[in-house]
Structure 1
Amino acid sequence: MTDDLPVLQLHHPTDNRFALRFISDDRKARSEKAAQLAEQSDIEIATTDESIGGETIYLLYTRTLFDAAYPEFQTEEAVIEWFDTEFSADDKQILFAVIDIFDGILSEKEEQGASLATYKKMDLEKIPEVLNRVEWRQLVPDVGAELLSGFILAHPMPNTNHRTGIGLLDRYLTSYEADFTMPDTGEEGRWYQWAREFIYDSKQVLTLRNQLPLLRWAREYGYEHAERKEGIRIDLTEVDVERDDYRNYYAQRHLSRSRRFVETVLTEADATHLLNKRDDGKRAFVDRLRGGE
């Protein structure tokens, strides 16, 4: 009955750098929203129209323009000064680990003859916020889940946030046991099945957390499915689009899903003894990172 209904595209059909920002059955309302957004110099706009049940739906997509995805410094001294000014010594140690993980992903892409598309600036300043929200000194899988989930929800990197987050989880678990080996997860677009389930679930939950108000309007206009990049589809008939506490609700769902993923990682890596090990604090983690240099 619903196969002939359009699927709401959460990224522009001809350029997935543009994400859905506004939806209405009123053309004038979209024009007014576009005019409002056009006042921002760092916003680029794209539009498209669709017909549902004989009614035209007006969609507006945006992307944020930026000069460079990565912080630019004239000298090495300027880099050091910025890090020393912005971050504590402990946070810097974890930041250096994140940057090293991300650089490894870039190098891997280059070796494969591929380039890494960037869609936003790198926001390293978000990472200390993630670290401060982690409740340390609980079971290792709980800390690992909070690190992973918090990192993905913050989305601080210009791309590959899931891979980088999993890399940070790897560093955390390896800090407890040098022989720990993260099971191969595959990579963006070619995830292995055991990891793909988490990645796709994670991206669905991220979408619901970030865009539920838009999806509420989409459901009202007759859309029953929404689709984001990678062909990940959300059945809107199974979503409570009227939920008021959606950001906290989906953050908790993401954390729970991340906890199950950490358990899967430890099982796949034959390291289930870490399931019941208690974390010994952020400072101890930093010290282990520093000692592993």
Structure 2
Amino acid sequence: MSNTVYYHHPDDNQYSLAYVTEDRDSIHSSDSDAKIERFDFGTPFYVLYTNNGASGTVDDIDDKFDQALDSFDSDDRIITLRYLQIFEGVIEEKELEEGEKLGIYKNIEVENIPDALSQIDWTGAAVDVAGQLMSTLILKHALPNANHRTSISLAEWYLESAQSGFSLPKLATQDYDWQRWVDDYIAESKRILTVRRNTTAFSFLQDWGCEVVERKGDISIKLADYDLTLPRSKALTQYAQKHADLCTEFMIDSVERGGHTELIRISGPTKSDFATYLSESA
């Protein structure tokens, strides 16, 4: 069995890896907001797991966004509103399927959405723009849950604005799980996101004999598959690009499966054109 460290604490996945050290005395945190685990793969070390303190269900979300939305320009406001509407639909579908409220770990950070939109090059091929749209929104992590589902759905709207009648192939099973081919992309997306935020900590873990970091959802991150030597600023940039490439690959796979390969070749709508399409289809 591989030398494994859990990224989310196995007894409570609200707690996630925050700090690693060989010196137990360097950890100063109360038991009420942290969990500490000892590992030894030849070199003993300690992992601090912390909880950001936010928890509850979607009923606890602060949805008073009027002031923030009023500060957005027209295109950002229209796209943001559609993104939030999609999220609301995901919440309702999840509750219907599972009979319980969707759990959250933070409030919606609505101001992150225009920031994500500003980072997109809206002049490329439709699938390239859709891939960027999906990736930047996931990276900004504006939502308290379901960032992947919501971002993919907005990217689908974008592709529909480029090609009337387009829809993604079936992505989820009747049990609301991802189709196997989709799940492979989602799992790798989560691996990249986790590595991107934790290259320094993971580098130490690797030095101390760890081979695999295990996320919740049985997502294994084989440390040898990733460059953990990058400085933090370079890691953020390089893994963001790796994530964008993955999301674009997912979009290409999706349009090919859906029989709309023309979206690989044709130029996508501009941001303003997309906002206009959303406004007219409201």
**Residues 54-93 of structure 1 deviation map (CA, whole Å, 9 limit, x = unaligned):** x4321111121238752254xxxxx534421x32221110
Question: Does the 8 Å contact 1:30/1:59 carry over to 2?
Answer: no
Given residue 237 of structure 1, which amino acid in structure 2 is its aligned partner? A
1:255 match: 244
Given residue 13 of structure 1, which amino acid in structure 2 is its aligned partner? P
Q: 1:81 to 1:225 in 2, by over 3 A?
A: closer
2:49 match: 61
**Residues 219-273 of structure 1 deviation map (CA, whole Å, 9 limit, x = unaligned):** 1111111111111111123332212221111111111111111101111111111
The match for 1:140 among 126, 141, 164 is 126
2:265 match: 276
Count of aligned residue pairs for this structure pair: 275
The match for 1:17 among 14, 33, 40 is 14
Question: Does the 8 Å contact 1:20/1:62 carry over to 2?
Answer: yes
Which has the higher mean CA deviation after the structures are superposed, 12-21 or 111-120? 111-120
Q: 1:24-43, aligned counterparts within 5 Å?
A: 24-31=21-28, 34=29
**Residues 9-53 of structure 1 deviation map (CA, whole Å, 9 limit, x = unaligned):** 00111000111001111111123xx37xx9xxxx93222222332
2:91 match: 106
Q: Secondary structure at the match of 1:205?
A: helix
The match for 1:230 among 217, 233, 237 is 217
Q: Secondary structure at the match of 1:16?
A: coil
Alignment partner of 1:287 is 2:276? yes
Q: For 1:198 and 1:67, locate their aligned partners in 2 and report how far apart those are by CA, in whole Å.
A: 27
Structure having the higher Rg? 1
Q: Secondary structure at the match of 1:20?
A: strand
The alpha-carbon deviation at position 191 of structure 1 amounts to: 1.1
Question: Does the 8 Å contact 2:135/2:244 carry over to 1?
Answer: yes
2:82 match: 97
Question: Does the 8 Å contact 2:55/2:104 carry over to 1?
Answer: no
1:174 match: 160
Q: For 1:127 and 1:253, locate their aligned partners in 2 and report how far apart those are by CA, in whole Å.
A: 20
Q: For 1:172 and 1:116, locate their aligned partners in 2 and report how far apart those are by CA, in whole Å.
A: 26
Q: For 2:185 and 2:195, locate their aligned partners in 1 and report how far apart those are by CA, in whole Å.
A: 15
Q: Secondary structure at the match of 1:64?
A: coil
Q: Secondary structure at the match of 1:11?
A: coil
Q: 1:107-256, aligned counterparts within 5 Å?
A: 107-112=92-97, 113-186=99-172, 190-244=177-231, 245-256=234-245
**Residues 94-145 of structure 1 deviation map (CA, whole Å, 9 limit, x = unaligned):** 0111111111111112212132111222111101001101011221111111
Give the TM-score normalised by the residue count of structure 2.
0.91
Q: For 2:67 and 2:45, locate their aligned partners in 1 and report how far apart those are by CA, in whole Å.
A: 51
Q: 1:72 to 1:101 in 2, by over 3 A?
A: closer
Question: Does the 8 Å contact 1:11/1:18 carry over to 2?
Answer: yes
Which has the higher mean CA deviation after the structures are superposed, 176-185 or 261-270? 176-185
Q: For 1:241 and 1:81, locate their aligned partners in 2 and report how far apart those are by CA, in whole Å.
A: 41
1:76 match: none
Question: Does the 8 Å contact 2:55/2:105 carry over to 1?
Answer: no
Q: Secondary structure at the match of 1:283?
A: helix
Q: For 1:280 and 1:226, locate their aligned partners in 2 and report how far apart those are by CA, in whole Å.
A: 40
Unaligned runs of 5+ in 2: none
Identity of counterpart residues, as a percentage? 29
Question: Does the 8 Å contact 1:189/1:230 carry over to 2?
Answer: no
Question: Does the 8 Å contact 2:112/2:140 carry over to 1?
Answer: yes
Q: Secondary structure at the match of 1:230?
A: coil
The alpha-carbon deviation at position 279 of structure 1 amounts to: 2.1
Q: For 2:133 and 2:25, locate their aligned partners in 1 and report how far apart those are by CA, in whole Å.
A: 44
The alpha-carbon deviation at position 166 of structure 1 amounts to: 0.5
The alpha-carbon deviation at position 189 of structure 1 amounts to: 7.4
Give the TM-score normalised by the residue count of structure 1.
0.88
Q: 1:83 to 1:239 in 2, by over 3 A?
A: closer
